[in-house]
C-alpha cells in the first residue's frame, strides 16, 4: 500500500485541478493518472506506459503533461534505462519549470547516471523550491559524499537540520557524515535528538553505537547499542557484527568476539578484515590452527586486492602511452595499443572513448561510432559519450540520430556549448533553421566561438531572412578565420 501511495503521489503531484467529467464519460486525466499509478504498482509497466502515452497525445495542459512525463520517467527507471528516464524528467520540467517534483526527478535521474556536477546543481534548485522537503537535501548530500566531497555534503545537511528538517532520514545521513569526518561528538548530538522520536530506528541506534565506540570510556555503551541495532535489523548486518567484534576485542572479551566474527564471516566471506580479526581472536583463544587458517585467508584476499590495484595503475599508464602516441600522430600504433589494452579491460569506457577518437582521426567513422556507442552503454552518465556519438552520426549524415544524441548530452549538461552547436547543426541539416538559430545563439552565450560556428549561424540566419544578423555573423567569421583554423576534431 505504501508503494502505491508513493506512485500515485508521483503521478498526481503536478495536478492542481481536477477537470470535470464529460458527457461521454471518458476517463478524466486524473483518473487516467490514477489508473497508471495502479498499473505501476502492479508491475504492469507496458499498460501504464500506454495509458500515459495516450494521455500525452490529447493534452497540452502543463500540469497534466508533467505528471504523465514523471510517470514515464519512473517506468524507464524501473526498466533500468536511466538515460530515457532523464529525458522524460527533463520534458516534465519543461512543462512545469518551477515544480519541485519535476526538478527533483531530473536531479534523481542525473544522480543515477553518475552526473554528479549537474545533479548537485539541480538538487540545489529543488531544495530552494521546496525547503520543507528533506529528500532533495539528502540526495544532494549522498551525491556529494560519493563524489568524495564529504565536508560539503555535511554542510548541506547541517543547513537542512538548522532549518528544522530533523527527521530520522536527515539524522541518519548527517550523523554518518560526521563520523566519516571523525566528529563523533556532533554525530551523537544529531542522533540523540532524532532518537527521541524514533527510538527503534536501527540505523540511528547503530550510529549511536559507532559514535560511542570512538571513546574508550564509552565502549560498554557502544557494545550495547550495536547489539540492539542487530536485534532491530540494520541494513548491513555483516559490517555491524564486525564492528561489534572489534569493540569486544578491544575490551579483551575474546569469547564474545569469536561468535561475532563468525557471524561477520558468514555474511561477508570476502572481507579481508574479518579474517585478520579472526586470526587475532583465535590466537588469543589458543586456537593456533584456526589463527593460521584465518591469517592465510587474509593474506590471499589482500594479495588479490593489491593485484587489482596494480592492474588498475598499469591500465592508466598504458592508456597514457596510447594517447601520447596519438598526440604524436602515430595513430595506427595508438590504435594497436588501445586494442591490446581492451583485451584485459573490455568493459572500461575510457578505453573505448579513446579508441573512438583515434578511429575518427583515421577517417574510420563507422568504427569510431561503434566504439563510442559501447562507451556510452558502459557509462551513460558522461555527456562526452553522447556528444561524440552525435558528432560521428552527423559526420555520417544520420541527422535525426545525431539530434537524439545531442539532446541526450544536453539533458545531462544543459550548459554544454559543444552540444548546442552539434544540435544546431543537426537541426539545420533537417531544414529547421529557427530551432537551429536558438542553439547557435545559446552556444555563443556559453562562450563557444569559432569560425565554423559563426559560418553555420550566418547560413541559418540568412535562410530565415535575417540578413543584417547574418552579415554580422559573417564579419565575425572572417575575423576568427584570420586568427585560427576551424574547429578541430575531438582532442585526445
Tell whether the model's pLDDT for residue 30 goes beyond 70.
yes
- How far, in Å, CA of 94 to CA of 414, rounded? 12
pLDDT at 264: 95
Q: How confident is the model at residue 6 (pLDDT cuts 50, 70, 90)?
A: very low
Residue 336 CA, distance from chain mean position: 33
CA 428 – CA 437 distance, rounded (Å): 8
- Answer yes or no: is pLDDT of 22 > 60: no
Out of 270-279, 300-309, 411-420, which region has the weakest mean confidence (pLDDT)? 300-309
Return the percent helix, strand and coil in the chain, to nearest 5: 80, 0, 20
pLDDT at residue 452 greater than cutoff 60: yes
pLDDT-based confidence at 318, cuts 50/70/90?
A: confident
Q: Scanning the structure block, which residue is given the C-alpha cell 536485534?
A: 231
**How high is the pLDDT of residue 7?**
46
Least Cα distance to 315 among 275, 354, 345 occurs for 345
12: helix, strand or coil: helix
User: What's the confidence (pLDDT) of residue 14?
Assistant: 44
The pLDDT assigned to 128 comes to 95
**Helix residue spans in 233-287 (DSSP H):** 237-250, 254-267, 272-284
Contact between 44 and 77 (Cβ < 8 Å): no
Rounded CA-CA distance 116/140 in Å is: 9
DSSP 187-234: HHHHHHHHHTT-TT-HHHHHHHHHHHTTSGGGHHHHHHHHHHHHHH--
User: What pLDDT does 308 receive?
Assistant: 63
Mean pLDDT of the chain: 88
- Can you tell me the mean pLDDT for 6-27? 46
Query: Which has the minimum average pLDDT: 43-47, 58-62, 301-305, 452-456?
Result: 301-305
CB-count exposure of residue 133 (10 Å: 0-12, 13-18, 19+):
middle
pLDDT value of position 26: 58
Task: Give the least confident one: 288-292, 395-399, 481-485.
Answer: 481-485
Whether the Cβ atoms of residue 304 and residue 335 lie closer than 8 Å to each other: no
> What pLDDT, on the 0 to 100 scale, is given for residue 248?
94
Residues of the chain with CATH 1.25.40.10: 400-492
DSSP 396: T
Model confidence pLDDT, tens digit, residues 211-262: 999 999 999 999 999 999 999 999 899 999 999 999 999 998 988 999 999 9
What single DSSP character describes residue 216?
Answer: G
Strand, coil or helix: 195:
helix
Lowest-pLDDT choice from 21-25, 64-68, 104-108, 110-114: 21-25
Position 429 scores a pLDDT of 94
CATH of domain 400-492: 1.25.40.10
Among 19-23, 202-206, 249-253, 296-300, which stretch is predicted with the lowest mean pLDDT? 19-23
Give me the pLDDT at residue 15, please: 43
Dihedral, CA atoms, 377, 381, 383, 387, nearest 10 degrees? 20
- CA angle, corner 367, sides to 365 and 372, nearest 5? 90
Q: Are 140 and 127 within 8 A, CB to CB?
A: yes
Confidence at residue 4, expressed as pLDDT on a 0 to 100 scale: 43
User: How confident is residue 18, by pLDDT bands cut at 50, 70 and 90?
Assistant: very low
How far apart (Å, rounded) are the C-alpha atoms in residues 163 and 155? Answer: 12
Q: Average pLDDT of 362-376?
A: 94
Query: CA 32, CA 89: separation in Å to the nearest integer?
Result: 19
pLDDT of residue 491: 42
- Res. 399: pLDDT tops 80: yes
C-alpha span between 371 and 362 (Å, rounded): 14
Question: pLDDT, tens digit, for every residue of 403-437?
Answer: 999 999 998 888 899 999 999 999 999 999 999 99
pLDDT, position 327: 84
Task: Return the closest-CA partner of residue 137 out of 181, 174, 178, 182.
Answer: 174
Alpha helices in 381-450 (DSSP H): 383-395, 399-412, 417-429, 433-445
> For position 307, what pLDDT does the model report?
63
Q: How far is CA 112 from the centre of its chain?
A: 3
Residue 304's pLDDT is: 78
More confident of the two residues 14 and 88: 88
pLDDT in tens, 472-490: 999 998 888 886 544 444 4
Q: What is the pTM of this model?
A: 0.74
In this structure, what C-alpha cell is assigned to residue 165? 528538517
Amino acid at each position: 500500500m505504501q508503494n502505491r501511495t508513493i506512485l500515485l503521489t508521483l503521478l498526481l503531484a503536478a495536478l492542481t485541478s481536477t477537470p470535470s467529467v464529460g458527457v461521454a464519460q471518458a476517463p478524466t486525466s486524473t483518473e487516467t493518472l490514477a489508473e497508471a499509478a495502479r498499473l505501476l504498482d502492479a508491475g504492469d509497466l507496458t499498460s501504464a506506459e500506454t495509458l500515459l502515452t495516450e494521455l500525452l497525445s490529447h493534452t497540452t495542459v502543463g500540469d497534466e503533461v508533467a505528471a504523465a512525463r514523471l510517470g514515464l520517467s519512473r517506468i524507464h527507471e524501473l526498466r533500468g534505462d536511466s538515460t530515457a528516464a532523464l529525458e522524460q524528467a527533463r520534458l516534465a520540467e519543461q512543462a512545469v519549470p518551477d515544480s519541485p517534483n519535476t526538478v527533483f526527478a531530473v536531479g534523481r535521474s542525473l544522480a543515477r547516471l553518475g552526473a554528479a556536477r549537474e545533479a548537485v546543481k539541480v538538487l540545489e534548485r529543488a531544495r530552494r523550491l521546496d525547503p520543507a522537503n528533506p529528500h532533495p537535501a539528502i540526495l544532494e548530500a549522498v551525491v556529494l559524499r560519493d563524489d568524495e566531497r564529504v565536508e560539503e555534503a555535511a554542510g548541506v545537511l547541517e543547513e537542512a537540520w538548522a532549518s528544522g528538517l530533523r527527521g530520522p532520514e536527515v539524522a541518519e545521513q548527517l550523523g554518518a557524515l560526521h563520523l566519516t569526518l571523525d566528529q563523533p561528538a556532533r554525530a551523537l548530538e544529531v542522533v540523540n535528538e532524532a532518537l527521541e522520536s524514533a527510538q527503534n530506528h536501527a540505523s540511528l541506534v547503530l550510529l549511536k553505537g559507532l559514535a560511542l565506540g570512538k571513546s574508550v570510556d564509552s565502549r560498554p555503551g557502544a557494545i550495547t547499542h550495536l547489539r540492539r541495532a542487530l536485534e532491530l535489523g540494520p541494513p548491513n548486518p555483516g559490517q555491524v557484527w564486525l564492528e561489534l567484534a572489534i569493540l569486544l576485542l578491544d575490551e579483551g572479551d575474546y569469547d564474545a568476539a569469536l561468535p561475532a566474527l563468525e557471524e561477520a564471516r558468514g555474511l561477508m566471506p570476502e572481507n579481508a578484515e574479518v579474517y585478520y580479526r579472526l586470526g587475532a581472536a583465535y590466537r588469543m583463544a589458543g586456537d593456533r590452527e584456526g589463527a593460521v587458517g584465518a591469517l592465510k585467508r587474509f593474506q590471499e584476499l589482500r594479495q588479490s586486492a593489491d593485484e587489482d590495484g596494480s592492474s588498475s595503475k598499469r591500465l592508466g599508464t598504458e592508456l597514457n602511452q596510447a594517447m601520447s602516441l596519438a598526440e604524436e600522430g602515430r595513430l595506427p600504433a595508438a590504435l594497436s595499443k588501445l586494442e591490446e589494452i581492451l583485451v584485459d579491460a573490455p568493459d572500461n569506457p575510457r578505453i573505448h572513448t579513446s579508441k573512438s577518437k583515434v578511429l575518427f582521426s583515421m577517417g574510420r567513422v563507422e568504427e569510431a561510432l561503434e566504439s563510442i556507442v559501447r562507451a556510452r552503454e558502459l557509462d551513460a552518465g558522461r555527456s562526452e559519450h553522447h556528444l561524440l556519438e552525435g558528432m560521428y552520426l552527423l559526420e555520417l549524415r544520420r541527422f535525426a540520430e545525431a539530434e537524439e544524441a545531442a539532446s541526450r548530452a544536453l539533458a545531462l549538461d544543459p550548459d554544454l556549448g559543444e552540444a548546442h552547436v552539434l544540435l544546431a547543426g543537426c537541426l539545420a541539416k533537417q531544414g529547421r533553421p529557427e530551432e537551429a538559430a536558438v542553439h547557435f545563439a545559446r552556444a555563443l552565450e556559453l562562450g563557444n566561438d569559432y569560425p565554423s560556428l559563426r559560418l553555420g549561424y550566418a547560413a541559418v540566419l540568412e535562410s530565415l531572412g535575417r540578413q543584417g544578423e547574418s552579415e554580422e555573423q559573417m564579419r565575425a567569421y572572417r575575423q576568427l578565420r584570420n586568427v585560427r583554423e576551424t574547429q578541430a576534431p575531438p582532442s585526445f
